[in-house]
Amino acid sequence: MMMLWCFYRCLFFVSLLNNVDLTSRKHHGKALILDGIIQCTEHDEFSYQEMISFLPLCAHPSPAKVLIVGGGDGGVAREVHKHPLVKEIVQVEIDAEVIEASKRYLPFMAVGFDSDKLTLNICDGFQYMKEHKDEFDVIITDSSDPIGPAVNLFTESYFGLLKGALRSGGIICSQNGTVWAGLDHVKETMEHCRKHFTTVKYAVASVPTYPSGQIGFVVASLDERDLTVPKHRFGEKELGEMELRYYNSEIHSASFVLPNFVRKVLQ
Ligand SMILES: *[C@@H]1O[C@H](CO)[C@@H](O)[C@H](O)[C@H]1NC(C)=O
């Protein structure tokens, strides 16, 4: 969400106010700074991209066909491509300008678009899922949240759409806010998700330059299964070859362990 949001803001400011600061900073690498606030940095974007990708991929015994909804910066495609069992990736992004901005400013993320497993469609993800039922093993949602009174209505029907586009045994993962800024919203989201999915879990990853230093994900499966235990465990050699800097099998399980104040609300 934040990644996409930064691009919309970026495009807006580039074209209208020229108020974007794409600086190379010593500690963060390349950073996108708007109104003096860091939106994303080269230094820590990998934790978000790796976790939103590898949590559902490794929870699935054979994640052959993957759908990415949103993800216009290319970072999620970059990570999904690395999983050895992934054969085919479809990505649906509604805004071609986001992709162009990423290619221009954030090539270390846009490199994901070079994947030979990837088919990129510029279209509405909702419409796409309505027309592609029963097709995907894993669906990853990396998009901005809707705002306003219809949010909850949207959320429940959205999880219904995801369910319809999954093959049996399918798993989803969505970027889903933070427990520090919107615990009630997380709780509601999980309740909506439970109407369509049998197993629903919440995981967190640390992203130091995000406002609360953390980002959360809803991971859910059609079947009853322990999503906290990875079906594939990568050894040191594989982790090195895949250039994974955050995700490993121990982090996978640990990311589902939540503090007491969160556990109490989400259970
Ligand atoms: C979680 O993601 C869904 C789908 O994008 C969205 O409808 C919902 O509002 C999100 N919830 C939170 C807490 O971010």
- Cβ(141) – ligand 1 distance below 6 Å: yes
Ligand 1 pocket test, pick from 145, 159, 162, 163 with the greatest ligand atom count within 8 Å of Cβ, gives: 145
Catalytic residues: 142
Q: Give the model confidence (pLDDT) of 132-176 as tens digits.
A: 999 999 999 997 655 565 676 788 899 999 999 999 999 999 999
Phi, psi for residue 15 in degrees, rounded to 5: -75, -35
| Ligand 1 closest atom vs CA 154 | 7
**Is 3.40.50.150 the CATH number for 43-266?**
yes
- Cβ partners under 8 Å of residue 79, min gap 6: 49, 50, 52, 53, 54, 112
pLDDT for residue 19: 41
Q: Give the model confidence (pLDDT) of 214-243 as tens digits.
A: 999 999 999 999 999 999 999 999 999 999
Nearest CA to ligand 1 atom 5: 145
Mean pLDDT of the chain: 87
Extents of the domains making up the chain: 43-266
| Average pLDDT over every residue of 47-60 | 97
Q: Give the model confidence (pLDDT) of 79-119 as tens digits.
A: 999 999 999 999 999 889 889 988 998 899 999 999 999 99
- Cβ(155) – ligand 1 distance below 6 Å: yes
Q: How far is the CA of 176 from the centre of ligand 1 (A)?
A: 5
In angstroms, the CA 99 to CA 121 distance is: 11
DSSP 31-70: EEEETTEEEEETTTHHHHHHHHHHHHHHHSS---EEEEEE
